[in-house]
């Protein structure tokens, strides 16, 4: 027999537990990446960055739904989050993720949302730069 809470919707998970697990997973990945990356990230490291990004985005959406936040955030200037050193960008993202996780655990969802968005923005800038670099490299190879 299923252990379902009264009033809960079948198939809908405990979003707080799932979000806490996603944030922990993202933190573990970013810690590992920040200590392991030296130079250009390899394919496995890029996949791990993307997975952290997805975990953060999902968590942000869950929190937005819970606090009924219709504002998707503000448009950001990607340049403000662009850091030339991958390790430094990962450290900034990790620092904000830890703050956001602590705020989430304390139940301060508005603050958690703000800090998790900051963390996500550093990852977004880093991943965007890597994607653009790869695209330029592929274009250069086709012309040669």
Residue 130 lies in a domain: yes
Query: Can you give the residue range of the structural domain that contains 95?
Result: 15-139
Residue 3 lies in a domain: no
Residue 99 lies in a domain: yes
Q: What is the pLDDT of residues 38-89, one digit of tens each?
A: 878 899 999 999 999 999 999 999 999 999 987 765 667 777 777 778 899 9
Do 113 and 63 touch, CB atoms closer than 8 A? yes
pLDDT of 11 above 70: no
pLDDT of 28 above 70: yes
Residue 9 lies in a domain: no
Residue 5 lies in a domain: no
CA–CA–CA angle 82, 85, 90 (5° rounding): 75
Question: What is the rounded average pLDDT of the residues 32-36?
Answer: 93
pLDDT of 21 above 70: yes
Provide the number of structural domains found in the chain.
1
């Amino acid at each position: 027999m299923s252990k379902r809470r009264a009033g809960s919707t079948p198939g809908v998970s405990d979003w707080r537990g799932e979000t806490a697990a996603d944030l922990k997973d993202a933190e573990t990945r970013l810690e590992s990446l920040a200590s392991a990356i030296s130079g250009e990230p390899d394919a496995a490291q890029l996949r791990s960055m993307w997975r952290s990004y997805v975990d953060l985005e999902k968590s942000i959406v869950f929190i937005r739904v819970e606090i009924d936040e219709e504002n998707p955030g503000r448009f950001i200037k990607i340049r403000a989050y662009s850091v030339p050193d991958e390790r430094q960008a990962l450290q900034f993202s990790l620092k904000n993720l830890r703050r956001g996780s602590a705020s989430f655990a304390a139940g301060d969802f508005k603050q958690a949302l703000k800090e998790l968005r900051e963390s996500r923005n550093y990852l977004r800038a880093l991943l965007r730069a890597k994607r653009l670099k790869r695209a330029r490299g592929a274009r250069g190879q086709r012309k040669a």
